[in-house]
Amino acid sequence: MNTYPLNEEQMFKDLRGLMQIKTINRNCGPMTDQMPLGEGVYNALQYVAGLAEKMGFKTKMLDGYSIWIEAGEGEKLVANLCHVDTVPVEDSGWVADPFDATLIDGKVYGRGICDDKGPTILSLYALKALVDAGKLKDKRVRLIVGGDEESGAWVCMKRYRETEELPVCAFSPDGDYPATYAEKGIMHVTVSRDLDPSITPLELEGGKTYNIVPAYASATVNGKKYEAEGKAAHASRPELGINATRELCKKLAADGVDHPFVKLMGIADTKGWGIDFEDEPSGKLTLNPAISIVTLERAEVKCDLRIPVTYKPEDVTAAINKAVAPLGFKAECDFVLGSLYVPKDSELVTTLQRVYKDCTGRDDEPISVGGGTYARTFDNAVAFGPLLPGEENTNHKTNECWDYKNMLLTYQIIANVMEQL
């Protein structure tokens, strides 16, 4: 392991500058031809590119969707995949301004500090350290920074692939350590039905985005108001949260409300919907009933599912339909993002594992996850960091934070990985 110097004061200043730009995915100001992902994302991409240019790097803006930053020499191109957009700040209770970087008791708080603005700035400084140390004489390293990761559509990476050089290998510091050799497929499914006037008049809302477990839901039945609070968590780990819509429907059922949607939510888990699938490479299927809207005419819930790598989306949809049809509902697949699988014994994974062990002293096995990263958009690419095993994952939650010592460790890991790939 090489230890690279870091100007922590300047790094933190630059980090704060990025954190203070509001970049909520698809909801950060006007969206124009020049700023297709919103003014905030555009400004953040410009900001990072500006930092890179001051460091002497080549940069290119790709129509407001993404940027790349490059250093080094040679034919070989290695990529580091980051993003500047964030999920919303959904509820109150933050101990510090979510649109800043605030150090409290050894942790840095702010929306996107770990997912993924912090790793973006650390990657930029790691690239500078490699150049200063003369380590990039036989290859080029390119930071590819996108602005549409949290939507799952990833139009930023699609735009990159249209015209830009593809790397021979890549990693994305947008997940967990050690190397992530498998990522489950991602599906968005809408389960819905029309309602007729004879059904109990229920109006309900819960959740705002696919990839967060809803933290609040409310309903009205015959003029009576109901509310429920849950606990937000990333959709890839719904077991870490409490689904407010499910909790609300439990209240409604306990109060004698007879409604198809209440019954639907009563069985809205993988077993109840007949999708308790599992495989050896990637583990269990997960389900997040994310965005619920019930009016007097229609009931629907939009769901995020993370599918084991050996299962097909059409089989999942068919199983859900079989389970929900008796309640009059129909499931339709709206979106699919294919799974990722890179063998554990590949050169990419073994190199990442070696660097991880050298930098941390740990000998953890490569992992599989339900989260989706930009690594899926390139051949021979995996997620790698920045969260250590056992470190609390606050991504997408209130009080998102990152241990400052672990931030500094990740800086060293990223620098060593970009050197050795």
Q: Output the furthest CA–CA distance in the chain (Å, rounded).
A: 75
Task: Please indicate whether residue 149 is annotated as part of the active site.
Answer: yes
40/46 Cα distance (integer angstroms): 10
Strands 216-221 and 224-229: antiparallel
pTM of the entire structure?
0.80
Question: Could you say which of 149, 150, 176, 304 is catalytic?
Answer: 149
Three-state secondary structure string covering 274-321: CCCCEECCCEECEEEEEEEEECCCEEEEEEEEEECCCCCHHHHHHHHH
**pLDDT tens-digit readout, 9-45:** 999 999 999 999 999 999 999 999 999 999 999 999 9
Per-residue pLDDT, 372: 82
Residue 340's φ and ψ, nearest 5 degrees, are -125, 140
Per-residue pLDDT, 27: 94
**pLDDT tens-digit readout, 90-99:** 767 999 999 9
User: Shortest CA distance to 81 belongs to which of 146, 169, 172?
Assistant: 172
Per-residue pLDDT, 338: 87
67 residue type, one letter: I
**pLDDT tens-digit readout, 199-217:** 999 999 999 999 899 999 9
Query: Which residue is associated with the tokens 């997408």?
Result: 396
Fold of 185-337: Alpha-Beta Plaits (3.30.70)
307/310 Cα distance (integer angstroms): 8
**pLDDT tens-digit readout, 120-177:** 999 999 999 999 999 999 999 999 999 999 988 899 999 999 999 999 999 999 999 9
84/275 Cα distance (integer angstroms): 34
Domain boundaries, the chain: 8-183+340-420, 185-337
Per-residue pLDDT, 371: 78
Cβ-Cβ contacts under 8 Å for 286 (sequence gap 6 or more): 184, 235, 236, 237, 238, 239, 270, 305, 306, 370
The whole-number average pLDDT for the span 255-261 is: 97
Superfamily of domain 8-183+340-420: Zn peptidases (3.40.630.10)
Question: Could you say which of 39, 85, 148, 419 is catalytic?
Answer: 85
DSSP state string for 18-54:
HHTS--BTT-SS---SS-TT-HHHHHHHHHHHHHHHH
**pLDDT tens-digit readout, 305-355:** 999 999 999 999 999 999 999 999 999 999 998 899 999 999 999 999 999
393 pLDDT above the threshold of 80 = yes
Residue 343's φ and ψ, nearest 5 degrees, are -55, 145
281 pLDDT above the threshold of 90 = no
Task: Please indicate whether residue 85 is annotated as part of the active site.
Answer: yes
Quick one: what percent of the chain has pLDDT higher than 70?
Answer: 100
Query: How many C-beta neighbours within 10 Å does residue 67 have?
Result: 23
Mean pLDDT of the chain: 96
128/69 Cα distance (integer angstroms): 11
326/218 Cα distance (integer angstroms): 26
Handedness of CA 361, 181, 276, 394 (dihedral sign): positive
The whole-number average pLDDT for the span 264-288 is: 96
> How far out from the chain centre does Cα 351 lie?
24
Per-residue pLDDT, 280: 86
Q: Name the token pair of 81.
A: 């995949």
Quick one: what percent of the chain has pLDDT higher than 90?
Answer: 94
